Amino acid sequence: MVTIAVTSERDDEPRVAVSPETVKKLAAQGCAVKVEAGAGHRSRFADDMLKAAGATVVASADDALAGADILLKVRRPSAEEVKPLKQGAIVAAMLAPFDERAGLDALAATGASLMAMEFMPRISRAQSMDVLSSQANLAGYKAVIDAAAMFGQAMPMMMTAAGTVPAAKVFIMGVGVAGLQAIATARRLGAIVSATDVRPATKEQVASLGAKFIAVEDDEFRQAQTAAGYAKPMSPDYQKKQADLVAAHIKAQDIVITTALVPGRPAPRLISAAMVESMKPGSVIFDLAAERGGNCELTQPDRTIEHKDVKIAGPLNLPGEVPVNASSLYAKNLLAFLETMIDKKEKVLKVNWDDEIVKGTLVAKDGKIVHPSLQPKGA
């Protein structure tokens, strides 16, 4: 029998790594799921719901962890927390492998097999396990909802007997998973939407969602997508041309949602202080890249500031603000991943360490950091 532990997250993380639906599916496959009491509370998964789905709800984290084969978390647990697990147990979580290395090393030293869900390869077989997509999609949605609430004016055009209310103009910068959902959400609210990106593939996607595409479409743009589907860092020359284009466009926008990222780098700076100052009073900038330094020069992480009557928000955990949905999808991602490692007939853990998705996510094993991207440079 495979024993799976789920414990509460820290205070600033409302999500949880299981849902009643995934507990039910894991239990049906012969797994014992032990959940710390209250762990699902902030995602509206009451202990009774989890129990009814087949989980054993236990009083403390240590009770859940004792002798478990697998620990499922949203955020990286501490080395102390995982000690009661079975030796060599699997820990699957969003481990933020590039952050706070000392903590990661200490966790690795416990001997647990650490699997970073953010490293899930973006291949079609692993689409159902892609936590970056499941969470970014919700972040894109929530960004528009929050920005609309901060805007203090209507989003759709309204023609009334007392006069016409104009539609809000929303500009989405960066059209990956979060940006596409932001476009769709802003359109549903009735805004006039435009969007920009450096990857040519986004041009058609933006148009198909009914938004206007704006970009510097030169030779560099035509080659801006890597084989993995991500954006390349752009040259200073391109950045200058892009800044001129954005400066001209942004003046007339009411809400700007920024989501632009380049893997392994600080977020590209797309909005300068001067551009902010050119915007109308009451405009809103909602910067989803705040965690990586922000797409706007004035963004402050985890804060909403006001600069010359323009509000600038830099949220750090938007998926955590829709925890019921975010936890449900995250738990499903974990379930799909675990199903590849559980022998359903024999009801035992059978990990194929050569599987692309295991190799791709495995950060540490047998006390050592093993992921190539986390080795010292030149090693």
d(CA 69, CA 296): 44
In the bound state with ligand NAD, the residue whose beta carbon lies nearer, of 91 and 231, is 231
Nearest-angstrom CA–CA distance, 88 and 117: 18
- Compute how many other C-beta atoms are within 10 angstroms of the C-beta atom of residue 156: 13
Residue 170 beta carbon to ligand NAD: minimum distance, rounded to whole angstroms? 16
> How many C-beta atoms surround the C-beta of residue 164 within 10 A?
9
**CB closer to ligand NAD out of 196 and 327:** 196
User: By CB under 6 A, what part of segment 339-368 binds ligand NAD?
Assistant: none
User: Over 326-352, what HEC string results?
Assistant: HHHHHHHHHHHHHHCCEECCCCEECCC
Binding mask 212-241 for ligand NAD (x = CB under 6 A): -----------------xxx--x-------
The amino acid present at 305, given as its one-letter code, is I
* Residue with Cβ nearer ligand NAD (203 or 371): 203
Nearer CB in complex with ligand NAD: 260/285:
260
Task: Tell me phi and psi for residue 318, to 5 degrees.
Answer: -65, -40
- Minimum CB separation from ligand NAD for residue 231, in Å? 3
368 beta partners: 365
Residues sharing a CB contact under 8 Å with residue 360, sequence separation 6 or more, in sequence order: 119, 120, 121, 126
In angstroms, the Cα distances linking 226 to 99, 113, 198, 270, 328 are 24, 30, 11, 20, 31
Q: How far is CA 150 from CA 138, 259, 273, 310, in A?
A: 18, 18, 20, 10
Closest separation between CB of residue 89 and ligand NAD, Å? 27
Hey, CA dihedral for 100, 129, 46, 15, is it positive or negative? positive
- Sites for ligand NAD among residues 110-139 (CB under 6 A): 122, 127, 130, 132-133, 136
Closer of 156 and 229 to ligand NAD (Cβ) = 229
- Terminal-to-terminal C-alpha distance of the chain: 39
Taking the least distance from each CB to ligand NAD, the nearer of 125 and 344 is: 125
User: Which range touches ligand NAD (CB under 6 A), out of 36-44, 256-264, 301-309, 364-372?
Assistant: 256-264
- Closest residue to ligand NAD, based on beta-carbon distance: 176
Question: Nearest approach, Cβ of 81 to ligand NAD (angstroms)?
Answer: 29
Query: In this structure, are residues 136 and 291 in contact, taking their beta carbons and an 8 Å threshold?
Result: no
Q: Which residue has the tokens 């194929």?
A: 352
Query: Furthest-apart CA pair in the chain: how many Å?
Result: 72
Catalytic residues: 122, 127, 130, 133, 230
The four Cα atoms 50, 119, 205, 267 give a dihedral, to 10 degrees, of: 110
Binding-site string for ligand NAD from residue 156 to residue 175, where x marks contact by CB under 6 A and - marks none: -----------------xxx
When the beta carbons of 213 and 230 are compared against ligand NAD, the nearer one is: 230
Among 52-60, 196-204, 329-337, 371-379, the segment contacting ligand NAD (CB under 6 A): 196-204
Question: Residue 295 Cβ, how far from ligand NAD at the closest point, in Å?
Answer: 8
Among 110, 134, 196, 327, binds ligand NAD (CB under 6 A): 196
Q: Please, what is the minimum distance in Å from the beta carbon of residue 215 to ligand NAD?
A: 8
Q: How many residues bind ligand NAD (CB under 6 A)?
A: 29
Strand order in the sheet with 304-307: 212-213, 192-196, 169-173, 255-258, 284-287, 310-313, 304-307
Q: Tell me: does residue 176 bind ligand NAD (CB under 6 A).
A: yes
Give the residue, chosen from 82, 255, 262, 341, that forms a contact with ligand NAD under the rule CB under 6 A: 262
Site residues (vs ligand NAD, CB under 6 A): 122, 127, 130, 132-133, 136, 173-179, 196-199, 202, 229-231, 234, 259-263, 268, 270
